[in-house]
A and B are shown apart, each in its own frame.
Chain A
Amino acid sequence: AAGVIQSPRHLIKEKRETATLKCYPIPRHDTVYWYQQGPGQDPQFLISFYEKMQSDKGSIPDRFSAQQFSDYHSELNMSSLELGDSALYFCASSPLERGDNEQFFGPGTRLTVL
């Protein structure tokens, strides 16, 4: 069965650089979520999209932005990177029209900021 695809899997950046993370949800899933997980921490919700519109926003810095495209893939753009942005970034998708909201997570992108 198809799973959530994230790219790249690993990314190393310098401070103040920019990064773009991509997420390809499971086919026919209309909702995408982004989470950030620091070392030893639980995943923290950043932002979500439903049918290409932003549906909810969590503790996402103003330096970060995201969007969902017409093919439902999503991109998380991160600018002016800081050391504290080093984390695992997960994308999850969900078929909300089914009523339940179990989420299917991708393998994550490990971002290291030097």
Chain B
Amino acid sequence: SQKIEQNSEALNIQEGKTATLTCNYTNYSPAYLQWYRQDPGRGPVFLLLIRENEKEKRKERLKVTFDTTLKQSLFHITASQPADSATYLCALSASGGTSYGKLTFGQGTILTVHP
């Protein structure tokens, strides 16, 4: 069965450092890999999407890489700030058919950035 694992349940770092979150998957060939941020009791917020034929994507302080051979994505937040503290969810989706668009989420990593 499809499985998505995010490297750790919790990650604590100091302000100004780079946070690196890992997402590994098995039994899946996703067309898209997405990262979302979720604050307690709120809906996930889309951050970045990377396609299966892309290696890297950047947006401001965020960077995501996608290695379909390793079946892994890395998500980096540079110059982290306490406001970046949240749960970060990795999500995969297929390329076509009736399952197009449906997101399968990892269990999330709780990031805490200490001042």
A contact set with B: CB distance below 8 Å: 4, 31, 33, 35, 41-45, 48, 50, 55-56, 58, 88, 90, 92, 94, 96, 100-108, 110
Contacts and interface: CB of A to CB of B under 8 A. Distances in A.
26 contacts: A31-B101, A33-B101, A33-B102, A42-B105, A42-B107, A42-B108, A43-B103, A44-B105, A45-B102, A45-B104, A50-B101, A56-B98, A56-B100, A56-B102, A90-B44, A94-B101, A96-B100, A101-B32, A101-B100, A101-B101, A103-B44, A103-B103, A105-B43, A105-B44, A105-B46, A108-B41
B73 interface: no
Nearest to A54: B98
Given A88-B41, A90-B44, A58 B102 contact: yes
Contacts of B77: none
Interface centre among A100, A103, A105, by most chain B C-beta atoms within 10 angstroms, is: A103
Contacts of A92: 43-44
Interface in B35-76: 36, 41-46, 49
Nearest to A43: B105
Given A55-B100, A92-B44, A106-B43, 14 more contacts: A4-B43, A35-B103, A43-B103, A56-B98, A56-B99, A56-B101, A58-B102, A92-B43, A100-B32, A102-B34, A102-B46, A103-B44, A103-B103, A105-B45
- Band of interface residues on B: 20 to 34
Interface centre among A42, A88, A100, by most chain B C-beta atoms within 10 angstroms, is: A42
- 5 closest A-B pairs by CB: A105-B43, A42-B105, A101-B101, A102-B46, A56-B98
Contacts of A110: 41
